[in-house]
């Protein structure tokens, strides 16, 4: 693998590009290849679960109006085909809709939703092999995660890292799929970084912007790689330059993160799966409350108040959601999530659909929930997401619980059965795929290296 032999300050973008251009399947350990397949399966389920969501159908309509009526790349939720750009756009929006897609803790970044859509779309258009798709996806994860870590906590206070670092990740992944050399990949990263965007303000208004963030990150990353292949140039120091991403988007950027053990630390294996169908910042407290209620044999009516002890990032993202107006906004409400956990024992897709906005018991419990900044939890974040809750019962007891490794994290990951069952459920949630055809797709992904020319994952619409 062609990699920079030393970390040269001020040339981090170039060295990342060289890493991407030189990455080969033989360089990648089996644990990382297995992780890529697992995450692909997890992403596919999430993409199918977004079917018929209003925001997704609007973007489907945009693709149908502005893009070609047919093409080499599939839109998963409709089984129609279009150009790679529009397939990536719709599939990325769809896979971020139900809040079940993967997340990397340290970068606070959802890689799969912006990496697999453009890689799959470009691979189908170019007739790439399954092995080439895997290498490209892994390249995207390794770059995107490091860019997210580099941009730091101050970036995440205002910017949705999945939209910003995600655009660069998508460009890196498609550049690798296209076989671009280091200089061309560097231009692709430059074009991606100058388009990177995504602001958290939408949460206050229950806006649809989160799906636009992933849609644009995936599509613009593909655009950046495609035009770089044709000779289009971009900034060569888009990440670390004096007028680059860090300069405009961060107060605590750390350039050492960009090349951290590049080629020996495989960040893709650090990626977490989402167990609850909600914002990841709610998961540690949800697991802790669930643990406490089971341990103490409490019912929701036994609880007078709950204090979720959280990191500042949780307060920044969840704090603006005071009275959720939509199911998607409820996924960013600590009260709503803990209410579902307490009243229904789960905060899954069906619980949100049926009870998040309409169940008076959930609403009553949500009113008992508060968040408090905890120094230990905040100091560990984002490397570790600790869950702590304090509960006061109606009979006056004060009870506490903590979870150091939430369900889905690498230290408490999903079994293969849990992963597949989750994907199968997501596929059937809104009729995105039938049980048997999803099982066949899962088996194809487990044997992806055998695919000489990647075609459609599902039969076309008739």
Is the per-residue pLDDT at 285 higher than 70?
A: yes
Residue 310's DSSP bridge partners are: 373
Residue 109: count other Cβ atoms within 10 Å of its Cβ. Answer: 31
188 and 296 belong to one structural domain: no
> How much is the pLDDT for 385?
97
Domain that holds residue 229: 12-270
Q: How many domains does the chain have?
A: 2
Q: What is the CATH number of the domain that holds 203?
A: 1.10.4100.10
295 and 265 belong to one structural domain: no
Is the per-residue pLDDT at 69 higher than 50?
A: yes
15-48 pLDDT, tens digit per residue, is: 999 999 999 999 999 999 999 999 999 999 999 9
* Structure token pair of residue 271: 């990626």
> How much is the pLDDT for 5?
37
Residue 11: count other Cβ atoms within 10 Å of its Cβ. Answer: 19
* Spatial contact of 254 and 152, defined as CB atoms under 8 Å apart: yes
226 and 339 belong to one structural domain: no
Instruction: Share the mean pLDDT of the chain.
Output: 96
Q: Phi/psi at 4 (nearest 5 deg)?
A: -65, 135
* Spatial contact of 137 and 36, defined as CB atoms under 8 Å apart: yes
10-20 pLDDT, tens digit per residue, is: 799 999 999 99
Whether 106 is covered by a domain: the verdict is yes
* Section 201-209 average pLDDT: 94
338-396 pLDDT, tens digit per residue, is: 999 999 999 999 999 999 999 999 999 999 999 999 999 999 999 999 999 999 999 99
Is the per-residue pLDDT at 3 higher than 50?
A: no
Q: Phi/psi at 199 (nearest 5 deg)?
A: -115, 145
128 and 248 belong to one structural domain: yes
Output the 3-class SS for the chain: CCCCCCCCCCCHHHHHHHHHHHCCHHHCCHHHHHHHHHHHHHHHHHHHHCCCCHHHHHHHHHHHHHCCCCCCEEECCCCEEECHHHHHHHHHHHHCCCCCCCEECCCCECCHHHHHHHHHHHHHHHCCCHHHHHHHHHHHHHHHHHHHHHHHHHHHHHECHHHHHHHHHHHHHHHHHHCCCHHHHHHHHHHHHHHCCCEHHHHHHCCCHHHHHHHHHHHHHHHHHHHHHCCCCCCCCCCCCCCCHHHHHCCCCCHHHHHCCECCECHHHHCECCCCCCCHHHHHHHHHHHHHHHHHCCCHHHEEEEEEEECHHHHHHHCCCCCCCCHHHHCCCHHHHHHHHHHHCCCCHHHHHHHCCCCHHHHHHHCCEEEEECHHHHHHCCCCCCEEEEEEECCCCEEEEEECCCCCCHHHCCCHHHHHHHHHHHHHHCCCCCHHHHHHHHHHHHCHHHCCCCCCCCCCCC
Is the per-residue pLDDT at 226 higher than 80?
A: yes
> How much is the pLDDT for 222?
99
Whether 30 is covered by a domain: the verdict is yes
182 and 56 belong to one structural domain: yes
Cα first-last separation, the chain:
44
95-113 pLDDT, tens digit per residue, is: 999 999 999 999 999 999 9
244 and 106 belong to one structural domain: yes
Whether 158 is covered by a domain: the verdict is yes
Is the per-residue pLDDT at 400 higher than 80?
A: yes
Angle between helices 112-126 and 84-95 (to 10 degrees): 150
285 and 233 belong to one structural domain: no
Whether 455 is covered by a domain: the verdict is no
> How much is the pLDDT for 6?
52
301 and 159 belong to one structural domain: no
pTM score over 0.75? yes
Whether 461 is covered by a domain: the verdict is no
User: What's the pLDDT band for 461 if we cut at 50, 70, 90?
Assistant: confident
* Section 69-96 average pLDDT: 98
Q: What is the CATH number of the domain that holds 336?
A: 3.30.1330.120
Is the per-residue pLDDT at 80 higher than 80?
A: yes
Q: Which of 392, 407, 422 is the last residue of a domain?
A: 407
- Core vs surface per residue 31-49: b (16+ CB within 10 A) or e: ebbebbbbbbbbbbbbbbb
């Amino acid at each position: 693998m062609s990699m920079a032999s030393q970390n040269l300050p001020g040339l981090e973008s170039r060295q990342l590009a060289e890493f991407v251009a030189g990455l080969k399947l033989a360089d990648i350990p089996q644990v990382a290849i297995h992780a890529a397949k697992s995450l692909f399966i997890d992403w596919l389920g999430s993409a199918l679960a977004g079917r018929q969501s209003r925001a997704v159908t609007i973007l489907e309509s945009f693709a149908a109006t502005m893009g070609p009526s047919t093409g080499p790349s599939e839109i998963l939720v409709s089984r129609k085909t279009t150009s790679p750009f529009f397939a990536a756009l719709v599939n990325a929006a769809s896979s971020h809709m139900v809040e079940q897609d993967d997340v990397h803790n340290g970068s606070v970044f959802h890689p799969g939703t912006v990496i697999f859509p453009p890689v799959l779309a470009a691979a189908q258009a170019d007739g790439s092999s399954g092995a080439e798709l895997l290498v490209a996806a892994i390249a995207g994860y390794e770059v995107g995660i490091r860019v997210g870590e580099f941009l730091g906590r101050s970036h995440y206070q205002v910017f949705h890292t999945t939209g910003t670092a995600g655009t660069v990740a998508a460009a890196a992944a498609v550049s690798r799929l296209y076989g671009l050399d280091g200089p061309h990949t560097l231009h692709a990263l430059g074009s991606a970084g100058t388009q990177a965007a995504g602001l958290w303000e939408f949460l206050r208004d229950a806006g649809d912007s989160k799906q636009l963030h992933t849609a644009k990150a995936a599509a613009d990353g593909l655009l950046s790689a495609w035009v770089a292949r044709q000779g289009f140039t971009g900034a060569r120091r888009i990440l670390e330059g004096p007028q680059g991403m860090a300069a405009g988007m961060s107060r605590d950027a750390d350039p050492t993160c960009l090349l951290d053990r590049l080629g020996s630390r495989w960040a893709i294996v650090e990626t977490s799966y989402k167990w609850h169908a909600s914002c990841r910042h709610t998961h540690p407290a949800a697991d802790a409350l669930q643990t406490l209620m089971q341990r103490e044999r409490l019912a929701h009516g036994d609880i007078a108040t709950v204090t979720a002890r959280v990191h500042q990032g949780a307060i920044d993202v969840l704090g603006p959601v005071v009275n959720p107006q939509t199911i998607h906004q409820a996924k960013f409400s600590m009260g709503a999530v803990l209410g579902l956990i307490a009243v229904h024992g789960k905060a899954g897709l069906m619980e949100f659909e049926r009870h998040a906005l309409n169940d008076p018991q959930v609403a009553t419990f949500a009113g008992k929930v508060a968040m408090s900044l905890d120094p230990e939890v905040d100091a560990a974040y984002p490397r570790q997401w600790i869950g702590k809750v304090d509960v006061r019962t109606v009979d006056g007891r004060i009870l506490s619980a903590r979870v150091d490794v939430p369900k889905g994290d690498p230290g408490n990951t999903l079994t293969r059965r849990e992963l597949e069952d989750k994907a199968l459920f997501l596929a059937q949630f809104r009729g995105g795929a039938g049980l048997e055809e999803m099982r066949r797709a899962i088996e194809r992904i487990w044997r992806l290296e055998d695919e000489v020319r990647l075609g459609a994952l599902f039969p076309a619409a008739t």
